[in-house]
Structure 1
Amino acid sequence: METRRLHLLVELSRLGSMRAVAEAQNTTTSTVSQQIAVLAREMGTALIEPHGRRVRLTPAGRRLAEHAVTILAAVEAAYLDLTPGAEPNGTLRVSGFGTAIRSYLLPLVGDLAVSHPRLHVLIREHEPAEALSLLATDEADLALTYDYNLAPAAEDPAVRATPLWTARWGLGVPARTDAGQGTALDIVHRFREHDWIVNSRNTADESVIRTLGSMAGFVPRVTHQADSLNLVQGMITAGLGVGLLPLDTAVLPDVRIVPLTAPDIELRAYAVARRGRLNWPPLALVTDRLTRAARGDGTTTA
């Protein structure tokens, strides 16, 4: 049922006549009568009855008017909650990768608990493909994702990605290994006989490795997979292979990271939301805070 018809019923209950309602709503008595009649058909029961030269609400009409007061108040509250500029409150479901959550979202959650105590953030740690899938099925409101300049994510017109930060990556190798000098292609070519370690939950870094290998004239032998960057370093220490690592991450004693240039390897982080929901106050607030935090801190690890 339309809330406008419920509003007319409430006004009829309050003012007592079709004419008074019409004057108050700047419409005609005929329009008020027609809308009340439509509402009665929707409810399947009579809402008004003759009372002398006027009408009055039936018992069902009075009961519906009581419900209508509550319904209209709830609609108004929802409108005030959801309109741009409203005080952010409710639950915001965020799905994202570990670094974005740990370095940016968690500090923000602490601040929001003080500045916006009615806003609650629900966090799930997921790699980009998983986070975007939750976004598509409406199981998340905001996805924190990343891609690489050499492995850009496919564009999706249903979402908008807000850039957050970028991070340079290099090649993690055993500390005792001489990687030599030269471009990224020169360096990766020197490790063409090594095994390569890639992410177990995301294919982006493998795509970067295979792209570099192709440009350098060989097919990388991808063997080991690990989700944790610390575990990747442990595998490198154990002599199991080499793999991509953030340049500014803390390294184990037996690991060093060789910078890769020409081409550079750059991770790009994003805050992704579905179009049509970008003005929802909690989503707009958290996205803005994440963007400002990322720009203020500059480059970070991933």
Structure 2
Amino acid sequence: MDTRRLPYLVELARLGSMRAVAETLHTSTSSVSQQIAALAHEAGAPLVEPDGRRVRLTPAGRRLAEHAVEILAAVDSARHDLEPHGDPAGTVRVAGFATAVRRSLMPIVAAFADEHPRVRLTIREHEPTESLDLLDADAVDLALVYDYDLAPSAITPPASAVAGEPLWEARWGLGVPDDGSRAVSGPAAAVVGTYRHHDWIGNSRNRADEDVVRLLASTAGFEPRMTHEADSLDLVEDLVVAGLGVGLLPVDRPVRRGVRVLELRDPEVRLRCRAVTRRGRDSWPPLALVLAALR
């Protein structure tokens, strides 16, 4: 079986369309069809079947596509192992949420420029679901994603990815207007319950914040009004200062005047950052260097 044909099947399983595969792999639809047909001949089983005007994978096609992910990862790993002691060189493509980019990636950029000048980093700011989609499409080599310990992510890494490697955790609290009054303290339910009649701020591109807020609110016996959505922490602060709502903010991050971050205890809220890579890619020397630096 010619392993060079396997990416066509993997992409067809992911995208569900010959035309989409052709666009992704920068070829023609007829070429994709020919590659799939040749792969079916080599496998000795039909891999696709008609589905209206389109095609879909047969059970054999789905099984081979699952094997193909592992096979291609093994090929990648073997290729990277051929020169394990060479001077690392290449572009490591990273997608991650803004806090991880600032906290984990930016501090190593200057060091890499001095110590590993042939390793280049490209950075794209995305929320976890978006980053994992890019990883699955092989548009990035590394995804920096997060969830909260109180509401573990329901996002399942794609078959082309390995399980996330924990990097760091950060405590989060409740961002409220700082009006000079005494800060509310006590268990998280009591702190959150104090703001039951306020509007609340969620994330515009990720449900994780809202899931945590709803969980805490349920322990305090109310349904939060999730009125606003903001992806930027700076914008969350602006909304708080304007009196438009309250929302989650990191405890250890300096905030602007007019904002107070109340600590949440019993239970605490912890954001957990992890690194996710494509199968077989973590042994690639440039990416291995980046992962070691992140650790």
Q: What's the TM-score once normalised by structure 1's chain length?
A: 0.67
Give me the whole-angstrom Cα distance separating, in 2, the residues matched to 1:170 and 1:206.
13
Q: Which residue is 2:136 aligned to?
A: 136
Give me the whole-angstrom Cα distance separating, in 2, the residues matched to 1:204 and 1:82.
41
Unaligned regions of 5+ residues in structure 2, if any?
Answer: 3-77
What does 1:55-94 align with in structure 2 at a 5 Å threshold? Answer: 79=79, 83-94=83-94
Q: Which residue is 1:100 aligned to?
A: 100
Q: Which residue is 1:20 aligned to?
A: none
Choose the corresponding residue for 2:273, options 269, 273, 289.
Answer: 269
Segment of structure 1 superposing worse, 233-242 or 112-121: 112-121
Give me the whole-angstrom Cα distance separating, in 1, the residues matched to 2:80 and 2:124.
28
C-alpha change, 1:178 and 1:220, in structure 2 (3 Å) is farther
Q: What secondary structure, in the 3-state scheme, does the structure 1 residue paired with 2:222 have?
A: coil
C-alpha change, 1:183 and 1:82, in structure 2 (3 Å) is farther
What does 1:283-294 align with in structure 2 at a 5 Å threshold? Answer: 283-291=287-295
Report the AA paired with residue 289 of structure 2: L
Q: What is the deviation of 1:81?
A: 7.5
Report the AA paired with residue 163 of structure 1: P
Q: What is the deviation of 1:272?
A: 1.0
> What's the % identity of the aligned pairs?
56
C-alpha change, 1:89 and 1:253, in structure 2 (3 Å) is same
C-alpha contact 1:83 1:280 (8 A) present in aligned 2: no
What does 1:11-90 align with in structure 2 at a 5 Å threshold? Answer: 79=79, 83-90=83-90
Q: What is the deviation of 1:82?
A: 5.5
Segment of structure 1 superposing worse, 106-115 or 198-207: 106-115
Q: What secondary structure, in the 3-state scheme, does the structure 1 residue paired with 2:168 have?
A: strand
Q: Which residue is 2:244 aligned to?
A: 240
C-alpha contact 1:95 1:125 (8 A) present in aligned 2: yes
Q: What is the deviation of 1:115?
A: 1.4
Give me the whole-angstrom Cα distance separating, in 2, the residues matched to 1:233 and 1:115.
38
Q: What is the deviation of 1:90?
A: 1.1
C-alpha change, 1:192 and 1:179, in structure 2 (3 Å) is farther
C-alpha change, 1:209 and 1:83, in structure 2 (3 Å) is farther
Q: What secondary structure, in the 3-state scheme, does the structure 1 residue paired with 2:109 have?
A: helix
Q: What's the TM-score once normalised by structure 2's chain length?
A: 0.68
Q: What is the deviation of 1:190?
A: 1.3
C-alpha change, 1:278 and 1:82, in structure 2 (3 Å) is farther
Give me the whole-angstrom Cα distance separating, in 2, the residues matched to 1:199 and 1:181.
25
Cα shift readout 1:247-300 (whole Å, capped 9, x = no counterpart): 111122211111000010001111111222221111111011111xxxxxxxxx
Q: What is the deviation of 1:223?
A: 0.4
C-alpha contact 1:179 1:190 (8 A) present in aligned 2: no
Q: Which residue is 2:174 aligned to?
A: 171
Say which one has the larger Rg: 1
C-alpha change, 1:83 and 1:208, in structure 2 (3 Å) is farther
Segment of structure 1 superposing worse, 222-231 or 80-89: 80-89
Give me the whole-angstrom Cα distance separating, in 2, the residues matched to 1:83 and 1:219.
57
C-alpha contact 1:200 1:226 (8 A) present in aligned 2: yes
Cα shift readout 1:63-114 (whole Å, capped 9, x = no counterpart): xxxxxxxxxxxxxxx9578644443211111111112222321221221122
Q: What secondary structure, in the 3-state scheme, does the structure 2 residue paired with 1:144 have?
A: strand
C-alpha contact 2:201 2:228 (8 A) present in aligned 1: yes
Answering whether residue 228 of structure 2 is matched by residue 224 of structure 1, we say yes
Root mean square deviation of aligned Cα: 2.1
Matched length: 216
Q: Which residue is 2:207 aligned to?
A: 203
Give me the whole-angstrom Cα distance separating, in 2, the residues matched to 1:224 and 1:80.
47
Give me the whole-angstrom Cα distance separating, in 2, the residues matched to 1:83 and 1:277.
14
Q: What is the deviation of 1:181?
A: 2.6
Q: Which residue is 1:182 aligned to?
A: 186
C-alpha contact 2:80 2:284 (8 A) present in aligned 1: no
Q: What secondary structure, in the 3-state scheme, does the structure 1 residue paired with 2:139 have?
A: coil
Q: What secondary structure, in the 3-state scheme, does the structure 2 residue paired with 1:159 have?
A: coil
Q: What secondary structure, in the 3-state scheme, does the structure 1 residue paired with 2:244 have?
A: coil
Q: Which residue is 2:217 aligned to?
A: 213
Choose the corresponding residue for 1:162, options 161, 165, 190.
Answer: 165
